[in-house]
Amino acid sequence: MPVDVFKRFLPRAWSALPFFQQLDELEGIPVINVHLWFDRKLKNIDALCFSRSPLLSVYADMSTCCKEYKDDDRSMLELVFAPCSPAAGSSVNWMSKSNQEIVDATLGELQRLFPLEIGAHLPGGGAQLRKSAVVKVPRSVYAATPGRNKYRPSQETPARNFTLAGDWTSQKFLGSMEGAVLAGKLAAEVVCDRAAGRPTKGVKAVPEHVLEASGGRGAREPAGVNGSTPVAFGGGAVLDPGGSDGVARHP
C-alpha cells in the first residue's frame, strides 16, 4: 500500500517508535491516470512507452499489451498524466481541472506525438475518441524531493515478526513498479533468513534528528482522512459530480 495509507493503518502502539515516526517525512504526490478508447487501431504503440511529452509520463495500448483488453480493431490507451500538481513539479494544478480539460490536454499531446494517426489535420480527423475516463489519485508514490532517501525504512522492522515491503521502503529505485518488485524480494529475503536461522541485514538506522524529536512524543492515533471511499484508502477514483451522493467512484 502507499506510504500514506500505511500510516493510516499503523497500530497506535507502534506510532511511538522512531522507526515508524520517520515516515512522517514521506508523503505521496498526486497522479492522474487517463483511459482513452479510440474507434480504430493505433499502429505505433505496441509496448509500454516512456513519453517525450511534458504532460504524459508513460502510456500503453491495453488492447495490445493486456489480454483482458485485447482488440484487433480498436485501441484503448492508458496513460499516466504527470506531473499534475505543483507538489510534483507542474506549473499547473491539473488535479483541480475538469475531466474534460484533462482529456483535451492529453489528446493535444497525443496529436503531437502521433501526427500521422491522431489530429483534425488528417483525412476524417484521424482516430476518433469513443469514450474516456480520468482517474485521480491524490496520494500516490512518495515525493522524491531532496533528502527523502534517508527516511525510507528497511524491510526489517523493530516490530517482532513484522516485515515491510513497498516501493517507498529502502532500496535503490524510486517509487515505481521496479522499486515495488525489488522491495518485495528484499522483504522475502528477511523472512527466509529468519526462518533459516541466518543473520539478517538488520534494521536501518533512523536519522538522528528523528530520534531526538521522538523523546517527548508518545503514541498517537493513525493519520489519515475520514470515510471509506477509494480515495480515503489511497486509491484512485473517477469523480462523479452528477452522482446522487457526490462521492468518488471506481471507474
The amino acid sitting at 177 is: M
The predicted pLDDT at position 245 comes to 38
Given a contact cutoff of 8 angstroms between Cβ atoms, the answer to whether 88 and 38 are in contact is no
Band of pLDDT at residue 240, cut at 50, 70 and 90: low
Highest mean pLDDT range out of 1-10, 53-62, 193-202?
A: 193-202
What mean pLDDT do residues 99-119 have?
A: 91
Q: What is the pLDDT of residues 10-39, one digit of tens each?
A: 898 898 899 999 999 999 889 999 999 999
CA 12 to the chain's CA centroid: 26
Whole-number pLDDT of residue 251: 42
Q: pLDDT for 110-141, tens place per residue?
A: 988 888 888 777 777 788 999 999 999 888 88
- How high is the pLDDT of residue 204? 97
Q: Across residues 192-202, what is the average pLDDT?
A: 96
This prediction's pTM: 0.76
Arithmetic mean of pLDDT over the chain: 87
Q: Residue for cell digits 491516470? A: 33
Task: Name the percent of the chain lying above pLDDT 70.
Answer: 92
Q: How far is CA 251 from CA 80, 169, 230, 240, in A?
A: 15, 29, 11, 10
- Segment 81-92 mean pLDDT: 88
Cβ atoms 133, 79 nearer than 8 A: no
- Asked if residue 83 has a cis previous peptide bond (ω within 30° of 0), the answer is yes
What average pLDDT does this structure show over 137-150? Answer: 90
**Range in 45-54, 56-65, 86-95, 161-170 the model is least confident about:** 45-54
**Of the candidates 235, 234, 251, the residue with the CA atom closest to the CA atom of residue 99:** 251
Distance CA 125, CA 134 (A): 23
